[in-house]
Amino acid sequence: MYINDCPKNSGSCVVRFLGRFSFQPFKENPLLGPSSTTLEKMGALEVSKVVKRHQVWRLMTCIWLHAGVFHLLANMLSLLFIGIRLEQEFGFFRIGLLYIISGLGGSLLSALFIQSSISVGASGALFGLLGGMLSELITNWTIYANKFAALVTLVLIIVINLAVGILPHVDNFAHIGGFVSGFLLGFVFLIRPQFGWVSQRAALAGHVSSAKSKHKMYQYILWVIAVILLIVGFTVGLIMLLRGVNANEHCSWCHYLSCVPTSKWKCNSGATYCLSTQSENQLTLTCQGSGKTSMYPLSNASDSRIKDLCSQLCG
């Protein structure tokens, strides 16, 4: 917000008494946050910069950026509810790795399909934790009681959250990429020893009749399959992205996974362009896509300000 400096770059700000920490107008950012230009400067995922300027680090930095206060609070509350149980059971290191790699997987899939707008947020990493919970339940199936009830509940939660992603302005590809990454990582990081092996370690050495292996065979098989799929998936995805591949050209229906158009909203995710006319104290913008025109009491508006207003007008 300090970099954003709303009073300097915008005519009206929310909570203006905060000075340069005040928020962009609600019409521009209803989540109480900075402009899209500021998010771009601070490391938001923008595919053109990843491909043409080789700024691959944006796949990672966007995970720690949020569009506004509401966005940040929603994600961090979700992180508390999902993450506390996992971290208590498996530790900071394993859950931290799962979270970060899942976020990277979400960013990667998002970049392959959504290439005309910036993306920020930890949603992909959060869905990775949900995916990890599901695979943890599957790979440690034999040690759980009420396993079917737990499975149905978890699947229902996942389906509902993914269904929300078909709304406009929600990056469901990040959700899906994070979930799949976390699901595979759960087989690698969240494997538990079988109950018989734990009991064997607790018993006296002289009372053990037969040694038991630490894990069941199906756990080892799932571990190997998950590792192979993760390596292949991330490698192929990064190669496709750095070569500038637009995955929508190879999957004509995949865009419906992120937004389903209805009579209430549209799913136009194309780039926005505006014709601008600057007089002494007034800026006039016309959206080329919709033909909408609006006038703003601004003089000598910067390119970044015009870009933000154009996105707002065409959105």
**C-alpha angle with apex 245: 171 to 35, nearest 5 degrees?**
40
Q: Of 125, 114, 119, 45, which is closest to residue 79 (Cα–Cα)?
A: 125
Q: Of 237, 233, 253, which is closest to residue 245 (Cα–Cα)?
A: 237
Q: How far apart are the first and last CA of the chain?
A: 23
CA distance 67 to 32: 8
185 in helix, strand or coil? Answer: helix
Helix H or strand E encompassing 275: strand 274-278
Crossing angle of the two packed helices 123-139 and 147-164, in degrees rounded to 10: 160
Active site residue 123: yes
Catalytic-role residue among 10, 102, 123, 135: 123
CA distance 66 to 158: 22
Catalytic-role residue among 135, 175, 255, 311: 175
CB 59 within 8 A of CB 108: yes
CA distance 79 to 99: 10
Task: Give me the count of residues in the chain.
Answer: 315
CA distance 207 to 228: 40
Which sign, positive or negative, has the C-alpha torsion 245, 246, 251, 257?
positive
Active site residue 215: no
Catalytic annotation, residues: 123, 175
